[in-house]
Structure 1
């Protein structure tokens, strides 16, 4: 066993990218146990807003994500880009003060699905299944092919925004629901969804969502659509049932 680990160490020392890949897959998450102060905080953040007793969520496990250096670097570089862009405005407008300070970073929720035994019995690995969305996000970040990443202000809203029939429809594939707690660089928030999606290079980094239809369309301040996938950094995975 010692000889095996020595061989592994030599192999990784020759190819640093192999070590990074190994850590990103085999040591991607750590379960936060009962009594852990960090777990208690995430528990409180997750359950805030769930006022309906009939929809009280039951947390199965809370996992801390160990983001790879590449994903973390992309997030931090994008935040610095947003800060610098806002700082170029002279004099700095009031709406840009938060952007200059920290990129207007917010804590948001994103509901998705997974198909494996992520974090079960203390497991730290992620899987390579094509349709295991949570593992894919942990491994590579959010896809740049998405038109925008919809993040919500509360876990309840994120849960409600996710189609209920997905789990039942794909039950044969062992699809389960999970909540991602994310750091989000919102940057400058625009108000016109259609215009800013088409021309987001005009200044806005994200836009508020829209609810209703026709003349009843309204701004949904609980939903924030972020344009750049580098702006969203998942920090925790909460496996739960309702």
Structure 2
């Protein structure tokens, strides 16, 4: 085997080849600088020394063994973790994961094209365009699988009941309607809040309350906006109360035309017309209303 001294001797003989004239260096722009050459020599010497020293230790060390206990612990850690599909954050129980989703990923911004469509839907039917409030935000609601499945199951029951009675049951009389409510969590910057008096966040998180005699749904954004008094924002300004309009899918089912003769306990009807002149429909079952978008805007003009 060639000794290290002999390698050094050969390199010393070839050093003049690397110290070319300036004219030659200008012709060959890819010529390596001295610092690169020196580092190259160091790597060469270190590798030669390592190969030479390996002759004195011909038997490689055994590979490190992994204890079964560490492998078992890693498998248990993987089985006990629950990552969030939206942000990849990991939680140690399904309860914490569901709580994270219910407060963080239930609303999101809309792309510009989709947002403009929702704005147009809200402004359609406004009698005085100059009175339309300035829309602040349009947000998409990501309903939980539980709320969505309840809505779809209720729609199927309405269709089945209508078909059994010989009525048209193509889609359960599903309509696009509006509902006005209030919220008290600023501009919804941090997702859905947990305040008891924040009606909007409660609806987004858990759906409409079954304790209501009927859920008011209206045909236009204007009708929904004026269904709640404008002075409510002034009276509860100390609580930062604001109004918001929800764009909802509504399974109206069989609609009763006489409000004083139909109530939520009547099995023959799924909803009833309201007592006002805005074509209000009161829906009895909270599972029949699925909020899809929320619109927030400036305080109403006086």
Query: Same-fold call, TM > 0.5?
Result: yes
Which of 2, 10, 19 in structure 1 is aligned with 2:97?
19
Asked whether the 8 Å contact 1:31–1:119 carries over to 2, the reply is: no
Count of residue pairs the alignment pairs up:
215
Query: Larger Rg: 1 or 2?
Result: 2
- In structure 1, which of residues 48, 53, 57 is the aligned counterpart of residue 133 of structure 2? 57
**Equivalent residue of 2:197, what SS?**
coil
The 8 Å contact of residues 244 and 296 in structure 2, kept in 1 or not, is answered as yes
Q: Which consecutive residues of structure 2, in runs of 5 or more, have no partner in the other structure?
A: 1-76, 84-91
The structure that is strand-richer by fraction is 1
Q: Which has the higher contact order (CA 8 A, sep 6+)?
A: 1
Provide the rounded CA distance (Å) in 1 between the counterparts of 2:131 and 2:262: 35
Q: Is 1:227 the equivalent of 2:297?
A: no
Give the whole-Å Cα distance in 2 for the aligned partners of 1:8 and 1:119.
34
Q: 1:173 to 1:221 in 2, by over 3 A?
A: closer
Match of 1:207 in 2: 272
Match in the other structure for 1:67: 143
Change (3 A) 1:198 1:110: closer
Change (3 A) 1:9 1:53: farther
- Partner SS for 2:229: coil
Are the aligned partners of 2:181 and 2:244 in contact in 1 as well (CA < 8 Å)?
yes
How far residue 17 of structure 1 moved from its aligned partner, in angstroms, is 4.2
Give, in angstroms, the shift of residue 149 of structure 1: 0.4
Q: Is the 2:214–2:264 contact (alpha carbons within 8 Å) kept by the matching residues of 1?
A: no
Q: CA deviation at 1:197?
A: 0.7
* Corresponding residue for residue 239 of structure 1: 296
Q: Give the match for residue 45 of structure 2.
A: none
Question: Which structure 2 residues correspond to residues 184-203 of structure 1 after superposition, within 5 A?
Answer: 184-197=250-263, 199-201=265-267, 203=268
1:22 is displaced (CA, Å) by 1.8
Residue of structure 1 equivalent to 2:70: none
Contact 1:63 1:119 survives alignment (8 Å): no
Stretches of 4+ moved more than 6 A in 1? none
TM-score w.r.t. the length of structure 2 is 0.67
Alpha-carbon distance change, 69 to 118 in structure 1, aligned in 2, over 3 angstroms: farther
Q: Given the superposition, is the C-alpha separation of residues 221 and 59 from structure 1 closer, same or farther in structure 2, using an over 3 Å criterion? A: closer
CA drift of 1:10 comes to: 4.3
Which residue of structure 2 lines up, in the alignment, with residue 32 of structure 1? 110
User: How far 1:111 moved relative to its partner?
Assistant: 0.6
Indicate the SS of the match to 2:280. Answer: strand
In the TM superposition, 1:71-110 aligns within 5 A as 71-89=147-165, 92=166, 96-97=167-168, 100-110=169-179
- TM-score w.r.t. the length of structure 1 is 0.83
Distance 2:265 2:194 in 1: 35
Please give the secondary structure, in 2, of the residue aligned with 1:156. Answer: helix
Q: Is the 8 A contact 1:47 1:57 kept in 2?
A: no
